[in-house]
């Protein structure tokens, strides 16, 4: 079976991990945390980095740090992971969703402004699968209406929008270091911002909101979202290779595209747009209606031929958990509904070889060409 993801850990990972063991620094107090925070923040052009347990809690802390809560609305894409909407709902606010663009699969930025109400507090952008959201229109709308911008850059390490690093847009940005991301810490995440007060809020929220001058006394509730020195050791070693990793993923994407573009049954994400060159977090495809079955059946057929796959995101407005809460009544997002059912991605991990890509591509071709 060709796995859908396998990370590449053959740099300084072992050396730095051994340092954790040899020195006994294994908790969140170790020296690698600060180094990882500083280097990662600098890499994406931010002043402050706050390392956390994973990319999902990075969003939770960011929403609360921005003061988003009861009665507020946040505009976000429907085509994304549950973490984005869950953070908004848990904070007591209401997610308002935007459909996807049929070509890039990112949020359709032309649909944002019509959704703004007096309760709208923020826009959450989520860059999808390797191409950034078209940020200029989003930032213009946010400035015009006085809205905060939260940028979920979990899939965008090393990507740029018009030459500016993803993760440097808006008031606050978040990353994940799950093993299928461009760099990994096993589990892990990072919040980045240029706002010192927001950074302080996030640090406090990450660490149970201990009062700095009176430990074990709390004026508000936080979480234990701390990253360990062991995770940061991995992160540092991975970060050293980010440029190489992005180049690898781009080469993988180019090779897949060489094999699979021009097949009428398959729609691929563009290799580039006017503002970015795809970094192919994953290599996704959407089946045209000429294929008489959906992604679920396609994935079964590929599994029978030893090819690992994953389905596309399932839209937030169709999630049973949110429908039960009474959210998204009457919401319709036909593009996201379609690509969720007809889209899936093929093996895309950092350790994938050229031979494996050739095997995957020829198997896909056999099925759909
Ligand atoms: C992976 C991912 C997350 C969540 O990160 P975890 O570290 O798995 O919690 C959030 N948003 C997006 C867009 C992601 O791809």
Contact, 282 vs 129, CB < 8 A? Answer: yes
Q: Is 284 in the pocket of ligand 1 (CB under 6 A)?
A: no
Separation of CA 78 and ligand 1 centre (Å) = 15
Partner residues linked to 214 by β-bridges = 211
Atom in ligand 1 nearest the alpha carbon of residue 80? 13
Q: How far apart are CA 351 and CA 180, in angstroms?
A: 10
Contact, 68 vs 116, CB < 8 A? Answer: no
Structure tokens belonging to residue 264: 């009428």
In the prediction, which pLDDT does 164 show? 98
What radius of gyration do the chain's Cα atoms show?
21
Tens of pLDDT, residue by residue over 49-79, are: 999 999 999 999 999 999 999 999 999 999 9
Atom in ligand 1 nearest the alpha carbon of residue 58? 9
- Match 């980045």 to its residue by tokens: 192
Contact, 49 vs 63, CB < 8 A? Answer: no
How many CB atoms sit inside 10 A of residue 175's CB? 28
- Match 């649909």 to its residue by tokens: 111
Q: Where are the alpha helices (DSSP H) in the chain?
A: 13-23, 31-43, 55-65, 82-90, 135-145, 196-206, 229-239, 242-260, 295-304, 320-324, 334-342, 354-368
Q: Where are the beta strands (DSSP E) in 44-119?
A: 48-52, 73-77, 94-98
Domains and CATH numbers, the chain: 13-239 (3.40.640.10), 242-368 (3.90.1150.10)
In the prediction, which pLDDT does 85 show? 98
* Interval 184-192 mean pLDDT: 98
Q: Is 83 in the pocket of ligand 1 (CB under 6 A)?
A: yes
Separation of CA 365 and ligand 1 centre (Å) = 30
Q: Is 154 in the pocket of ligand 1 (CB under 6 A)?
A: yes
Residue 185 pLDDT class (50, 70, 90 cuts): very high
Atom in ligand 1 nearest the alpha carbon of residue 59? 10
Percent pLDDT > 90 in the chain is: 99
Q: How far apart are CA 56 and CA 201, in angstroms?
A: 17
Contact, 150 vs 84, CB < 8 A? Answer: no
Q: Using a cut of 0.95, tell me whether the model's pTM lies above it.
A: yes
Tens of pLDDT, residue by residue over 223-275, are: 999 999 999 999 999 999 999 999 999 999 999 999 999 999 999 999 999 99
């Amino acid at each position: 079976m060709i796995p859908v993801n396998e990370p590449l850990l053959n740099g300084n990972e072992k050396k730095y991990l051994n340092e954790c063991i040899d020195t006994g620094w294994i908790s969140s107090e170790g020296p690698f945390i600060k180094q990882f925070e500083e280097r990662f923040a600098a890499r994406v052009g931010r002043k402050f980095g706050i390392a956390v347990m994973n990319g999902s809690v990075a969003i939770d802390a960011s929403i609360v740090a921005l003061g988003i809560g009861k009665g507020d609305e946040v505009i976000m894409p429907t085509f994304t992971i549950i973490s984005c909407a869950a953070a908004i709902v848990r904070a007591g606010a209401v997610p308002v969703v935007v459909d996807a663009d049929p070509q890039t699969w990112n949020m359709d930025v032309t649909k944002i402004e019509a959704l703004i109400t007096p309760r709208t507090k923020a826009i959450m952008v989520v860059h999808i699968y390797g191409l950034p959201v078209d940020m200029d229109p989003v930032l213009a709308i946010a400035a015009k209406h006085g809205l905060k911008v939260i940028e979920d850059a979990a899939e965008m390490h090393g990507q740029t929008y018009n030459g500016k690093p993803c993760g440097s847009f808006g008031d606050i940005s978040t990353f994940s270091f799950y093993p299928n991301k461009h760099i990994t810490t096993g589990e892990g995440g990072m919040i980045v911002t240029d706002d010192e007060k927001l950074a302080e809020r996030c640090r406090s929220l990450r660490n149970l909101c201990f009062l700095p001058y009176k430990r074990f006394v709390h004026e508000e509730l936080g979480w234990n979202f701390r990253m360990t020195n062991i995770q940061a050791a991995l992160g540092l070693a991975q970060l050293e290779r980010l440029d190489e990793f992005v180049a690898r993923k781009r080469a993988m994407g180019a090779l897949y595209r060489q094999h699979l573009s021009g097949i009428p049954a398959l729609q691929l994400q563009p290799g580039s747009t006017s503002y970015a060159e795809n970094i192919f977090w994953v290599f996704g495809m959407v089946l045209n209606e000429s294929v008489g079955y959906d992604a679920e059946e396609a994935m079964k057929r590929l599994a029978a031929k030893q090819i690992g796959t994953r389905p596309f995101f399932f839209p937030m407005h169709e999630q049973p958990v949110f429908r039960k809460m009474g959210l998204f009544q009457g919401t319709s997002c036909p593009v996201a509904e379609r690509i969720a059912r007809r889209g899936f991605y093929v093996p895309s991990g950092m350790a994938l070889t050229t031979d494996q890509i050739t095997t995957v591509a020829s198997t896909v071709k056999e099925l759909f060409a």
